[in-house]
Amino acid sequence: MPPVLLVAPDKFRGTLSAPEVVRAVADAAEPLGWEVVGLPMADGGEGMLDAFGGANRTSTVTGPDGTPVRAGWRLEDGTAVLECSAASGLVLAGGAERNDPMTATSAGTGELVADAVEAGARTVVVGLGGSAMTDGGLGAIEAVLARLGGRRPADLGVDLVGACDVQTLFTQAARVFAPQKGATPEQVVELTDRLVKLQDRYAVQHAVDLSATPGGGAAGGLGGGLVALGGRLVPGLQLVAEQVGLADAMARADTVVTGEGALDAESFNGKAVGGVVEEAQRHGIPVLVLAGTVRPDAPAHLLEQLTVVDLSATYGADASWRDTARCLGEAVRAHLPASGG
């Protein structure tokens, strides 16, 4: 029997999706005699839809800047999966340079939720990551209530689930995330004031106390907005791991390959790579971590326990960015025999 290689990476943002990373690793590992089991991973941000099997539906919704966008989502066996980045993403707004952090809206994500409910979904999973807005989910709430006749998904028996990879509180969303979305220090203050007022408003209108809700600040407060709609927040990594069967796959693996575009301190704080590493170590399985770049704040005491390849440092930053698949293949051929025998 050939040794089993479990390939469970996150995306390499800007270059390869998680399924593309799996393919690149498999192309290099299979000729070496490995049986490859591929599990594209995500932690609630972009790429979660890929982990659930990819889009099989598309809707035209309101983009973060108010213009229409086409957003893919998935509906299967009564469960809908969508990403706020596909409807309300910073990339759709032109990045931080072109985004208007004061007017960017989550309305399109709310429209996707309504589409899913109207299509018969009994569970709607929303990946919270990559957003352009800091509107506290107000745009999404208004869109959902307008489409569903003033009723929340919960009122219709629908389980609304927000998948997030942060613990940020609702009123902290602007301070933590808005600068990445183009907000000036003055705008951060104004956006924070808006969130404080929204938190009070949601307490009155929707009978929810978001003041101590972990993840309420995810996606510019959209996490809290989903709670106001009767939803619940869960760790995205846990949700994806259960969906793809990570624990079962790990039980039969001899070696694990994981990775992402940038390995840093947050990679081991509720993110996909850290979760895969933790599960592998629980099973006593060696891990090869491939990263587009390893940042200075990556925890050295954890990296010492792993085989880590920094593609930029090893093959050059330009090659790592422009020819990621080739670099991944070379890294696998160079390090996998030592990892698995």
Q: Are 34 and 340 in contact (CB under 8 A)?
A: yes
Pairing state of beta strands 232-235 and 287-294? Answer: unpaired
Q: Are 256 and 8 in contact (CB under 8 A)?
A: yes
Pairing state of beta strands 255-263 and 287-294? Answer: parallel
Q: Where are the alpha helices (DSSP H) in the chain?
A: 18-29, 48-51, 84-88, 95-98, 107-118, 138-147, 173-177, 185-206, 218-228, 236-244, 246-251, 272-282, 300-303, 311-315, 317-322, 324-340
Map tokens 């929204």 to a residue: 198
What is residue 76's DSSP assignment? E
The whole-angstrom distance between residue 181's C-alpha and the CA centroid of its chain comes to 17
Of 333, 335, 336, 324, nearest in space to 253 by CA: 336
Note the pLDDT of residue 13. 87
Residue 314 has a CB neighbour count (10 Å cut-off) of 14
Note the pLDDT of residue 279. 94
Q: Are 37 and 244 in contact (CB under 8 A)?
A: no
The whole-angstrom distance between residue 111's C-alpha and the CA centroid of its chain comes to 20
Note the pLDDT of residue 45. 78
pLDDT in 10s for each residue of the chain, 341 residues: 899 999 999 999 889 999 999 999 999 999 999 999 999 999 887 889 988 999 999 999 999 999 999 999 999 999 999 999 999 999 999 999 999 999 999 999 999 999 999 999 999 999 999 999 999 999 999 999 999 999 999 999 999 999 998 899 999 999 999 999 999 999 999 999 999 999 999 999 999 999 999 999 999 999 999 999 999 999 999 999 998 999 999 999 999 999 999 999 989 988 899 999 999 999 999 999 999 999 999 999 999 999 999 999 999 999 999 999 999 999 999 998 644 44
Q: How far apart are CA 206 and CA 214, in angstroms?
A: 18
Q: Are 60 and 111 in contact (CB under 8 A)?
A: no
Q: How far apart are CA 209 and CA 224, in angstroms?
A: 9
Q: Are 51 and 240 in contact (CB under 8 A)?
A: yes
What is residue 89's DSSP assignment? B
Map tokens 């624990």 to a residue: 247
Note the pLDDT of residue 336. 87
Give the chain's domains with CATH numbers: 4-39+245-340 (3.40.50.10350), 48-237 (3.90.1510.10)
Note the pLDDT of residue 340. 46
Of 185, 174, 189, 186, nearest in space to 131 by CA: 174
Note the pLDDT of residue 150. 97
Hey, what are 216's tokens? 């309420």
Note the pLDDT of residue 14. 86
Q: How far apart are CA 190 and CA 51, in angstroms?
A: 37
